[in-house]
Structure 1
Amino acid sequence: MQKQFFLIFFGITLFFAQGLRGQSGIVTISGIVKDAAGTPIEFATVLVGDPTTEKPITGTTTLLDGSFTLETEAQEFYIEFSFMGYTTKRINDPEIINGLLDLGTVVLAEDAEQLDEVVVEGEVSQTVFKLDKRVFNVGADLSSTGASALEVLNNVPSVTVNIEGQVSLRGSQGVQMLINGKPSVIANEQGNALGTLTADMIERIEVITNPSAKYDAEGTSGIINIVLKKEEKRGVNGAVTLNTGIPNNHSLGFSLNKRTEKFNLFSQLGVGRRTFPSDNESENRNLLDDTNINSFGKSDKNETFFNLILGTDYHINDLNVITLSGNFAYEWEKENSTALFTTFDNADLRTDAFERRELTTATNPKYSYELQYKKDFEGNPEQSLLLSATGNLFAKDQVSDFTNTTTVGTAGDLLQRARTDFGQADYIFKADYTHPWADTYTIETGAQYQINDVESDFGISEFDGTSFVEDPALTNIFEWTQKVLGIYGTAAYEKDKWGLKVGVRFEDTDVATLLQTTNEENDQRYNNFFPSGFASFKANDDLSFQAGYSKRIFRPRLWDLNPFFNIRNNFNIRTGNPNLQPEFTDSFEITSIYKLGKVSMNFGVFYRHTTDVVERVVAFENNISISRPENIGINNTTGVEFNAKYIPTNWLSFTNDFNFSRFAREGDFEGTSFDFVGEQWSNRLLSKIKLPADIDLELVGNYVSGFRTVQQEITENLFMDFGARKKILKGKAILNLSIRDVFASRIRESQTIQPNFYLRNFSRQGRFVTFGISFGFGKGEAMEFSGQKRF
């Protein structure tokens, strides 16, 4: 059905294109574009426009020799020639003879001032505050060279990404990740695919700490929406980038779009290979008999990846657009790891030791596609109707072979194998209608139906001397189905000084889990209302205030529910809980935005009240720890947030992002109290320096304090990133250098201190150095392309 749909759509597209070409009254325009020295200008943009409306009619770009040919049905038009670094030239009322217009040689003069402006605009990342969200426009941040979406996120105010790739907003991991306003396999934690989404593909990132009723209620700490680029510049435009780095970090990126009067074809392609080395340590100590088991190991994860985004917009007319787009990503994974496990008695004497080796191979195909229809309304440019259908598919076929070789003691050697056959399909159907009137009031309404369908076939087997035999107790098929229907309505009033927006969302949730082998079922159905409200006041051009409230939900995800566990470390096991309940959060915040000369500041306070909080609880027996999520009590978090940007000169700027939160936990589990009070804070300081000869530098310092959970204490983190850039060929090409974690100081360390046991886990990935070169053509700008998936 999918293939038939694509064939039908592109057949219709081709039919319209050929039909337009076959009409009578066509004018053929030709010529050659050169600079003042007589050198042909390749990829210069040639635009044909309507002299009455000033709207483009059609366009193209010049070939290698500067020549061009295009056709139009219009009889009255102007022609405009442009290229980055040159002044734009316009020809009005050209003379047409027998349907032909030969312009001969068109000369463009260099414009150094325009080139400087383009460079500056391409480098500045700015945060824009709107009534119910903040928008971070991703510029050419130097430290993001060769970066994935995860690393770009780590430069966004209020957002942190730890060494394991977990995204937090204001210190909380209850974040709903969206791509282009919708859940996507790219942002799905099971797919772990944000690494294939690269910095050059991102147009902006929206941080919504208090989402309005228009958005999904999922995500107790808010929503992060990654908006991908979709060029619509006339003619053919694009960019190509090549990156290489240490450790292995090699990639090629390519983007291309072609815009005509009716169609916009857009595409992005990325291929590469990368390696992620890691040092790992763990310790399990039994405090009752003072015995302990520790491990020290290394691993190298190698990935070859491919990512393709392809789509087309068909402009039926000025008010109606149909968009069909698709994304295909594929990863080939191979991981080797070695760890030495040692057991000590209460006299600290070594009693047993073995070396555990792992070889894991996996393939991860990911597909997503969307059909969207947008209707604008004549006379009201803000009024719109948007209908969309989206599909996301993800699969994982993984095999892990483990070998235990005894080095001390009498235990025999052991061979184990773990296999995973995983499949997930997500479908989303949306309708959104926006109706503003009188330049003051806006009503939004819409509905969404989302289906998540997962099947995970998992098994563990041991070698009995002849063959591998699966353990029935550790083998099962887990099915998870979730259906959510949402309906919302909002009303907004916004004048020069005051703004007000209120709304409510209703969501009906139907969840079902099944362990096939044991026939254990758990079905849940619940429905909830999620109100929201926002107010803004603009005292003057330099001072404004915002206040907001929203109710949110965190629904347990697949890995929270799936009871299977990984045997990579047989002494530290993580598993899911099929009986887990959702948690709910009431979120309040007040923020202010203030500009004082060369300084712009944002200061806010927030409060979150969360019930049925999901926390991982560790059980300990026979020196084995088992971590399982449970619903434990309530959490009250109060915090402050401060962001500031200072530009003392045109060659130097500083940006600071500070967050502090204090949380109070109340709850008990199986007779154990988990009441406690804790604090967490983080600070990020970014400085940009412009040097002569078009050289730019960037330094980013990050600090994340230690904090505690119901059982764990997480160690603090201090690390730095560095970036440098040099523009060449009049800004058409860019050389990039980035060093992430300059001092290899970024770590992930946790300690669990309980009356009967002590646990410690430590990991570090080290320094990553990436060098890249990017070239833009047409009206495309040079870009950076990721060769890095994680820190």
Structure 2
Amino acid sequence: MKYMLIWILFFGLDITSAYSQGIEVTGKVVDAKSQSPIEFATIKLLNSASGQMIAGTTTLANGNLLLSTENKNFSVEVSFIGFITQQIKEFEVVDNQVNLGTISLEQDTKQMSEVVVQGQRSTTEFQLDKRVFNVGQDLSSTGASALDVLNNVPSVTVNIEGQILLRGTGGVQILINGKPSVLTNDGGNALGTLTADMIEKVEVMTNPSAKYNAEGTSGIINIVLKKEEKKGVNGSVSLNTGVPNNHSLGFSLNKRTEKFNLFSQIGVGKRTMPEDFETINSNSSTGAEVRSVGEVEKNEKFFNLILGTDYYFNDKNVITVSGNYAMEIESENSTGNFSTYNGQGAPLSGWQRKENTEATNPKWQYEMQYKSDFSEEEEHFLLISAIGSSFAKDQSSTFVNRPSFGEDAQSGEQLSDNDFSQAEYTFQADYTRPIAEKFTLETGGQYFINEVKNDYSIAALESGVWVVNPALSNNFFYKQKVLGIYGTGAYEADKFGLKLGLRMENTDIHTLLEETNEENGQNFTNLFPTVHASYKVAKTFSVQGGYSRRISRPRFFDLNPFYNIRNTYSVSTGNPNLLPEYTDSYEVTGILDHSLFSLSASVYHRYITQTIEDVTIFEDNINITKPMNIGTNNVTGLEINGKMTPTDWWSLSTDFNYNYFDRSGTYESTPFGFQSNQWTGRLTNKFNLPADFTLEVVGDYRSSYQTFQRSISGYAMADIGIRKKIVKGKIIVNLSVRDVFATRISESETLNPDFYQYNFRQRGRFVTFGVSYGFGKGEAMEFSGGRRRF
């Protein structure tokens, strides 16, 4: 693997050297009024004779531009939405270099009354301690949820259960606008009420700096929501429909004056997610088996409302007050046909088990934030915020068994009740100060409180009366408090950057099972150092490196011993005695960023202790699965991301990730050890067709891999999307087909000396049609590529 990185480094240097024979064009684009850099301004090199475009790019976050050409007769065109386009024809070529200096763009007051976005952002940009995936140019997730967007972000995968993995590993912390959110918890549909058109960008931090909460062994994913700040009234509306049922309506409206910025977003919709399943549970000593085959249909109705306002006391002080309300109404129906067999494979009994589940999940969140800028420097500020949120879940499930043959066929009815409530409070202060031109200091703290109560019971119908099973019922209380304090220092020069940080966190966790009076308390303090460095080897090639120490505290649903009894022969539960897992994470990345293509490659290593993994035990012919701390995990991986534009009508991007696992530890006083590997690949092709049509084709492959007890099967799948812009781009029509060949599956086998377990799940093809319209100074929603949330 190290030879692969060396090859990539030299490959980048060779390509850089090859292109350096042409003329290199550099410069910086700023707003003439504020002198602030303009990001994503469009730069074109035009042939002086024909006027045809020779090359093109967009500016970086600092306004800088870089282009190269072999053609010596060209002019430069600089444009950005709402600004007057500049043509530059007079410049000097010195040593095959053209320095355009600082290019100041004036606002176009005539066009500002009605602005339509025509350009497209680059997909991914690299910063010192994170990567930023800009949402808005991919097609295959019309009407999709936030999890669909995440599933198209490099390094991120979302499996069929909705679990988010970063570089193939769980333990990811999800933030919204840089802070914990009620929308990212484990209950209900979680991120399902956020639709793709609400998201501006996704920040991926595989080695987050000490500024961020140390939670999440594999890293942090920060979802940044759109908030329009252009003056005047801006808005957009989107409508989606599809099969199976996938209907949603999104609306955003913003108004900006000198003192106020009022912003709002509304999303409402309905989804149906059908599923086929098959399970096998076998007693290895007797050969007796229980098999089930069936189907599930989950229906979700959701409503999401975001309201907020920024009040500008002056140009240096602003206060933001916002609120978020979300409601999910769930209904789930399943039918499973169960049958038992003896050791010789002869059928003994059969029955049908039907489930009907109803649940309501209301969520609230409210936030107040104050920001004070201390000088004309953009990055010298104090930020204070307070967040409160609550989430409740009232769920009831009935199970009816109807025997078909055999004396041992199950019969009767069961009732499962789950009354859940959670309250979270986050208080945070961050202070950032540049020192001179190249140094920046950051410091701050965060206090987080999480309180949960879960009242659950399982009962059986006996002689017309529901009788609660005390062994499977309890009141569970959970409280977690985390105090964190951090400091970072960064030095960023033209070629070299270094960022050092240290975070201290004290964690206090308390759990109580009321009926049995079982208490569990944990209190511990940890230090979490972080290091990030970057070096610009050449003008188009740089190297980054990073280290961070992380923690993954057990989530409430990992600790809650509530039993899921959909399949009474294969149940799942939590573990109140679960301990946190720790990760030391290292990585080195090479980045080649040329005007014609970009390529990045990372070699990384994670050492994880007290690894949390689902473990299945066999008791009374029943498989019980719960999370446990099982040994250590050494993960070494290679990740490659590339993008290029062979022609002006075709662009492609690719993502490849390879993981090698080395697991070791002790389970039930017996040492164990094994090695495994896993790889994923994604190829996205985008074609600009005549008449403002755009076609996108995405291929995705996930390999099989091994866990402590299980073998997980791989699969390949494809998505297709097509888009048409009409009325000068103000209206955008999308059609997407996700999982075209219905090949996405979840399949696993558990082989143990005492038992064998097989699980299979599959959902089919989803077709969605969407229309979006932007008005005022807003823009039509160009949905991010991804897949339907599973």
**TM-score normalized with structure 2 length:** 0.85
Q: Secondary structure at the match of 1:333?
A: strand
Residue 628 of structure 1, CA deviation: 1.7
For the residues of structure 2 that align with 1:388 and 1:238, how far apart are their CA atoms?
Answer: 27
For the residues of structure 2 that align with 1:771 and 1:562, how far apart are their CA atoms?
Answer: 40
2:299 is aligned with 1:302: yes
Q: Secondary structure at the match of 1:675?
A: strand
For the residues of structure 1 that align with 2:173 and 2:109, how far apart are their CA atoms?
Answer: 52
Preserved CA contact (<8 Å) 1:272 1:306:
yes
Equivalent position to 1:194, from 187, 191, 194: 191
Q: Secondary structure at the match of 1:559?
A: helix
Correspondence for 2:621: 623
Preserved CA contact (<8 Å) 1:241 1:784:
no
For the residues of structure 1 that align with 2:34 and 2:425, how far apart are their CA atoms?
Answer: 41
Correspondence for 1:36: none
Kindly provide the CA deviation profile for residues 467-487 of structure 1, in whole angstroms up to 9, marking residues without a partner as x: 211111111110110000000
2:223 is aligned with 1:220: no
AA aligned to 1:215 is Y
Preserved CA contact (<8 Å) 1:198 1:785:
no
Matches within 5 A, 1:475-494: 475-494=473-492
For the residues of structure 2 that align with 1:685 and 1:788, how far apart are their CA atoms?
Answer: 14
Preserved CA contact (<8 Å) 2:138 2:783:
no
Cα distance change on mapping 1:238 and 1:538 into 2, 3 Å: same
Structure 1, unaligned runs of 5 or more: 1-49, 56-83, 90-105
Matches within 5 A, 1:47-446: 118-121=117-120, 124-410=121-407, 411=409, 413-446=411-444
AA aligned to 2:291 is N
2:514 is aligned with 1:502: no
Matches within 5 A, 1:721-740: 721-740=719-738
Correspondence for 2:698: 700
For the residues of structure 1 that align with 2:131 and 2:189, how far apart are their CA atoms?
Answer: 25
Q: Secondary structure at the match of 1:151?
A: helix
Preserved CA contact (<8 Å) 1:687 1:699:
yes
For the residues of structure 2 that align with 1:312 and 1:533, how far apart are their CA atoms?
Answer: 36
For the residues of structure 1 that align with 2:149 and 2:588, how far apart are their CA atoms?
Answer: 26
Q: Secondary structure at the match of 1:298?
A: strand
Correspondence for 2:25: none
Cα distance change on mapping 1:303 and 1:508 into 2, 3 Å: same
Residue 754 of structure 1, CA deviation: 1.3
For the residues of structure 2 that align with 1:263 and 1:435, how far apart are their CA atoms?
Answer: 26
Indicate the percent of aligned positions where both proteins have the same amino acid: 58
Equivalent position to 2:710, from 697, 709, 712: 712
AA aligned to 2:677 is E
Q: Secondary structure at the match of 2:380?
A: strand
Residue 613 of structure 1, CA deviation: 0.9
Preserved CA contact (<8 Å) 2:447 2:484:
yes
For the residues of structure 2 that align with 1:162 and 1:396, how far apart are their CA atoms?
Answer: 23
Residue 634 of structure 1, CA deviation: 1.0
Cα distance change on mapping 1:682 and 1:109 into 2, 3 Å: closer
AA aligned to 2:496 is W
Kindly provide the CA deviation profile for residues 133-183 of structure 1, in whole angstroms up to 9, marking residues without a partner as x: 111111231012111110101111010011111110001011111111111
Residue 694 of structure 1, CA deviation: 0.4
Cα distance change on mapping 1:210 and 1:54 into 2, 3 Å: closer
For the residues of structure 1 that align with 2:32 and 2:647, how far apart are their CA atoms?
Answer: 42
Preserved CA contact (<8 Å) 1:252 1:785:
no
For the residues of structure 2 that align with 1:412 and 1:600, how far apart are their CA atoms?
Answer: 60
Residue 596 of structure 1, CA deviation: 4.6
Preserved CA contact (<8 Å) 1:191 1:394:
no
AA aligned to 1:550 is S
Equivalent position to 2:657, from 650, 656, 659: 659
Correspondence for 1:528: 526
Kindly provide the CA deviation profile for residues 100-127 of structure 1, in whole angstroms up to 9, marking residues without a partner as x: xxxxxx9979999x96xx3232xx4421
Preserved CA contact (<8 Å) 2:510 2:520:
yes
For the residues of structure 1 that align with 2:605 and 2:497, how far apart are their CA atoms?
Answer: 22
Cα distance change on mapping 1:747 and 1:234 into 2, 3 Å: same
Q: Secondary structure at the match of 1:147?
A: coil
AA aligned to 2:118 is V
For the residues of structure 2 that align with 1:357 and 1:132, how far apart are their CA atoms?
Answer: 50
Correspondence for 1:22: none
For the residues of structure 2 that align with 1:597 and 1:500, how far apart are their CA atoms?
Answer: 26
Cα distance change on mapping 1:788 and 1:244 into 2, 3 Å: farther
Preserved CA contact (<8 Å) 1:545 1:592:
yes
Preserved CA contact (<8 Å) 1:146 1:788:
no
Residue 734 of structure 1, CA deviation: 0.7
For the residues of structure 2 that align with 1:598 and 1:475, how far apart are their CA atoms?
Answer: 62
Cα distance change on mapping 1:518 and 1:443 into 2, 3 Å: same
Preserved CA contact (<8 Å) 1:274 1:788:
no
For the residues of structure 1 that align with 2:136 and 2:783, how far apart are their CA atoms?
Answer: 13
Q: Secondary structure at the match of 2:728?
A: helix
AA aligned to 2:195 is T
For the residues of structure 1 that align with 2:306 and 2:682, how far apart are their CA atoms?
Answer: 33
Q: Secondary structure at the match of 1:134?
A: strand
Residue 205 of structure 1, CA deviation: 0.4
Residue 540 of structure 1, CA deviation: 2.1
For the residues of structure 2 that align with 1:412 and 1:764, how far apart are their CA atoms?
Answer: 26
Residue 292 of structure 1, CA deviation: 0.6
Q: Secondary structure at the match of 2:662?
A: strand
Correspondence for 2:585: 587
Structure 2, unaligned runs of 5 or more: 1-30, 37-79, 86-107
Preserved CA contact (<8 Å) 1:194 1:789:
no
Preserved CA contact (<8 Å) 2:149 2:787:
no
Cα distance change on mapping 1:412 and 1:168 into 2, 3 Å: closer
Structure 1, 781-790 or 726-735: larger mean CA deviation: 781-790
Equivalent position to 1:455, from 453, 456, 465: 453
Residue 88 of structure 1, CA deviation: 7.4
For the residues of structure 1 that align with 2:218 and 2:576, how far apart are their CA atoms?
Answer: 23
AA aligned to 1:192 is N
Cα distance change on mapping 1:564 and 1:493 into 2, 3 Å: same
RMSD: 2.2
Structure 1, 620-629 or 506-515: larger mean CA deviation: 620-629
Equivalent position to 2:546, from 542, 545, 548: 548
AA aligned to 1:493 is Y
Kindly provide the CA deviation profile for residues 688-711 of structure 1, in whole angstroms up to 9, marking residues without a partner as x: 000000000001111011111100
Q: Secondary structure at the match of 2:140?
A: helix
Q: Secondary structure at the match of 1:205?
A: strand
Correspondence for 2:102: none
Structure 1, 188-197 or 157-166: larger mean CA deviation: 188-197
Cα distance change on mapping 1:604 and 1:552 into 2, 3 Å: same
Kindly provide the CA deviation profile for residues 170-221 of structure 1, in whole angstroms up to 9, marking residues without a partner as x: 0101111111111111111224321111111111100000011111111111
Preserved CA contact (<8 Å) 2:235 2:779:
yes
Q: Secondary structure at the match of 1:380?
A: coil
Cα distance change on mapping 1:320 and 1:327 into 2, 3 Å: same
Correspondence for 1:790: 789
AA aligned to 1:249 is N
Matches within 5 A, 1:772-791: 772-783=770-781, 790-791=789-790
Preserved CA contact (<8 Å) 1:714 1:751:
yes
Q: Secondary structure at the match of 1:573?
A: strand
